[in-house]
Structure formats: C-alpha cells, structure tokens
Amino acid sequence: MSTTLIQRDERTVAVENASYRWSYLVLSFGLLAIVAYRSFVRHESAWDLLALIVFAGVASTAYQGLHKVLSRQWALITAATLIIAGVISAAIVSFH
C-alpha cells in the first residue's frame, strides 16, 4: 500500500470546473447588467464592456474547438443563432 497522499482526484477537478462556471456566469451577467445600466439609465456607450463579454465567449469557444469537444449540433445551433441575431439587428437598424 502506498503512503503518498492524493492531492487531486476527479471529484476535485469536477468541483473546480463547476466553480469556474459559476464565476464566469456571475461575471458575464454582472457585466451585462452594467452594460444595460450604462446604456439605458446613463445613456452612455457600453461597447467596451460588451466586447469583454463577447471576447470571453470567443476565447472559451476557441479553446473547446482547439481540443475538439464541440459537437455538430452545437455548430448548427450557433449558426442559427448568428443568423437570427443578424436578421433582428438588420430589422432594428432599418426601422430605427
């Protein structure tokens, strides 16, 4: 029997990853709330903070894509979301 202590196991890694997820969610939605406040209440441009949210998502997606963990369904949903967002954005700009 070995006398060495195991510092990390699968459960520890899973809990750490879950905590990172919660941190990311709090940070992202906190930034979105600040963006909404700056935009609607103070009538200021908030593109700098919105860019942080977008770049964080791009970095996460790029890392997952690099390690080939993204599915075909994910790609289809993302493409559909981008197309719908583009159509809505074009409609807002053209009717404004």
Q: Residue 87 pLDDT more than 80?
A: yes
Q: Spell out the residues 6+ positions from residue 52 whose beta carbon is closer than 8 angstroms to its own.
A: 31
- The predicted-structure confidence for 24-75, as pLDDT tens digits, reads as follows 999 999 999 999 999 999 999 988 988 988 898 899 889 988 988 888 999 9
- The predicted-structure confidence for 4-15, as pLDDT tens digits, reads as follows 666 778 888 888
Q: Give dist(CA 40, CA 28) in Å, integer.
A: 18
Angle between helices 10-40 and 47-66 (to 10 degrees): 150
Q: What is the pLDDT of residue 94?
A: 92
Q: Residue 1 pLDDT more than 70?
A: no
Domain regions of the chain by residue span: 10-69
Q: Which residue has the higher pLDDT, 2 or 65?
A: 65
Token duo for residue 39: 């935009």
Q: Give dist(CA 43, CA 46) in Å, integer.
A: 9
Q: Give dist(CA 60, CA 17) in Å, integer.
A: 13
